[in-house]
Amino acid sequence: MEKRETKQFRSKTELILYFLKGSKRFFGAGLIFACLLALLDLINPRIIGFTVDSVIGTDEPQLPQFVLNMLGKLGGREYLVSHLYMIAIIVIVIALIGGLCRYLFQVLNSMGAEKLVQSMRESLYGHIQKLPYSWHGENQTGDIIQRCTSDVETIKRFLAEQLITLVRVCLLLVLAISFMWQLHRKLTMIAVLSIPVVILYSFFFHDRIGSAFQRVDEEEGRLSTIAQENLTGVRVVRAFGRELYERDRFMTKNEEYTKMWIYMMKLLSIFWASNDLISGLQIMLVTGCGAYFCVNGSMSAGQYISFIAYNAMLTWPVRMLGRVISEMSKAGISVGRIQYIMNAEAEQDKENTETASYTGDICFEHVSFDYGNSGKKVLDDVSFTIPGGKTVGILGGTGAGKSTLVHLLDRLYELPENGGKITISGKSVADLKSREIRKHVGLVLQEPYLFSRTLDENIRIGAEGTDHEDVKAAAKIACLDQTIEHFTDGYETYVGERGVTLSGGQKQRTAIAQMLIRKPEIMIFDDSLSAVDSETDGKIRAAIKEYTDKATVILISHRITTLMHADQIIVLDKGRVAEIGTHKELIEQQGIYRKIYDLQMQQM
């Protein structure tokens, strides 16, 4: 793996701007049409007011000079009186242009929104792929999925709807107030009294709505985790008859999630209802005061009609301004949750990496390791050497540190400072590229993960440039070929999610074939023969020995018969090396190995 610098986003705004790189032009163009639409919406009330006062009525027209000059060229008021339909045509033309602007705004805004979502998903998915194995162990899959779906949609809605609306609202406020100010200053001052009230109580609800949304979001992540675990482990649930238990567990968590949503909806209902109440009172006040000004002669009928139209336009932006502020709190929580993922440190190699032959000795020198959450060492001062080209067995009880050893060798976990040293052909694994290590070190786990693809695709998933013959050869060594031949679709058999249609032994043999087709110099079998019978176990080991004559093979198993023919056997006990030797030597030592051997032989 090449050196990767993880970009740290110090603020939420910086992260948003990063995601907006591919969609700025769409949002920018959409914003232009939104502003044009706002301007066009403000023209028609002025035209209607002019028509009532200066065309139907006889008042002196109060219009900009360039408009008066254009009317003079047409024939002035007399021409409009005799051709009243011209005003209707102008209103219709402005409405049509407004409709076109609205269409272009919606199209461009939607394109920008989808480009934004695409950018966010690709950035998140790509970054998650680079994160260390340990990070995935610390974070629940369901919660990660929820952040990459629900939180992404929340941000999309805010940027594509609320943020654009905020700009349009501000423009409408400025223009509407300026137009209203020209019509009647006292009534304008009365009309704008509600604006600071709406803004203040919106900020009052901002933090409360944000806190409630964060709890809802986190609870949704927990609910997604339960659903994901149960859908993935449905066979285990059914096998142990735990359907009712799991259903009750889901319903309990769902009840908590629903209560949190109801609480947030109550907050939003109070907020929206208050918003609507203030807006309604403002409309009533403006209507009443405007009527009074008309009666006392300080305002004409046309001005009153225009003012009411502008006030209606003002009321909507003010209401939306309050809602945008509340939605901002939700978006802020979602951005923070995504920022947590994007700021997680990616797996990195050292700047000056070295190369190794991978055919030499593998040395563990005073290796100590713990997972950082218990304080108890999983490995404690472990030292041994695996000769290149030899087969070495590792035996130990549960929690002895067997799997941890190979995860450190494969750099799925990094050795801490003062945690010892692991070398391959004399080169420290910390100085090698992780991508190169995983190319030359093949690892088969006890519980292999198969993808929802065909057997052929699963076997060649990590081997580029291989053909079907290579797949068949690897399957034969893994004693999987005869099983596949009995399937109706052969190698094109679809195995289902996590290989659900295969037995445990079939999945393990598929994983072995998956590793063998790559022909790595170091092959690790982490208890990967536990689900096959002893006869098949022997056949696979014999075939692998013949196939991997020059490869270094590490066998981890609880089964003595799997390890007894290894060139060397290492016995681990509570994170320490308890015994090292051949099968014969360990039998003679009368230690842990001999006790396990006697116990297993009695059971056969």
Write down the domain spans for the chain: 12-342, 362-603
As a whole number of angstroms, the distance between CA 414 and CA 580 comes to 25
The string of pLDDT tens digits covering residues 329-342 is 778 888 888 999 99
Instruction: Say what percent of the chain tops pLDDT 70.
Output: 87
Supply the DSSP symbol for 59: P
Mean pLDDT of 52-81: 62
The string of pLDDT tens digits covering residues 201-244 is 777 777 777 778 778 877 877 787 788 777 767 767 777 677 88
Write down the pLDDT at residue 2: 44
As a whole number of angstroms, the distance between CA 488 and CA 497 comes to 19
For β-strands 391-396 and 552-556, DSSP reports them as parallel
Calculate the alpha carbon distances from 379 to 60, 383, 404, 559 in Å: 94, 10, 8, 22
Q: Give me the DSSP letters along 479-510.
A: T-HHHHHTSTTGGG-B--GGGTTS-HHHHHHH
As a whole number of angstroms, the distance between CA 527 and CA 521 comes to 19
The string of pLDDT tens digits covering residues 160-189 is 877 777 777 777 777 778 777 877 888 888
Beta bridge partners, 367, equal 382
Calculate the alpha carbon distances from 69 to 66, 77, 81, 391, 571 in Å: 5, 12, 17, 98, 101
Comparison of pLDDT for 449 and 72, the residue scoring more: 449
Which pLDDT band, with edges at 50, 70 and 90, does 498 fall under? low
Write down the pLDDT at residue 362: 92
CATH number of 362-603, picked from 3.40.50.300, 3.40.50.720, 3.40.630.30, 3.40.50.970: 3.40.50.300
Write down the pLDDT at residue 422: 92
Does the pLDDT of residue 259 top 70, yes or no? yes
Does the pLDDT of residue 552 top 60, yes or no? yes
Residue among 324, 64, 283 nearest 194 (CA)? 283
The string of pLDDT tens digits covering residues 504-524 is 778 888 888 888 888 888 888
As a whole number of angstroms, the distance between CA 431 and CA 440 comes to 15
The string of pLDDT tens digits covering residues 356-395 is 888 889 999 999 988 865 567 888 899 999 998 888 999 9
The string of pLDDT tens digits covering residues 290-315 is 888 888 878 777 777 777 777 777 77
Write down the pLDDT at residue 77: 64
Average pLDDT, the chain: 81
Which pLDDT band, with edges at 50, 70 and 90, does 525 fall under? confident
Calculate the alpha carbon distances from 411 to 218, 385, 604 in Å: 31, 18, 38
pTM above 0.85, yes or no: no
**Rg value, the chain, Cα:** 36
Which pLDDT band, with edges at 50, 70 and 90, does 326 fall under? low
CATH superfamily label, 12-342: ABC transporter type 1, transmembrane domain (1.20.1560.10)
As a whole number of angstroms, the distance between CA 178 and CA 173 comes to 8
Alpha helices in 379-467 (DSSP H): 402-409, 434-440, 455-459
Which pLDDT band, with edges at 50, 70 and 90, does 55 fall under? low
For β-strands 441-444 and 427-428, DSSP reports them as unpaired
For β-strands 421-424 and 362-369, DSSP reports them as antiparallel
Segment holding 538, helix H or strand E: helix 534-547
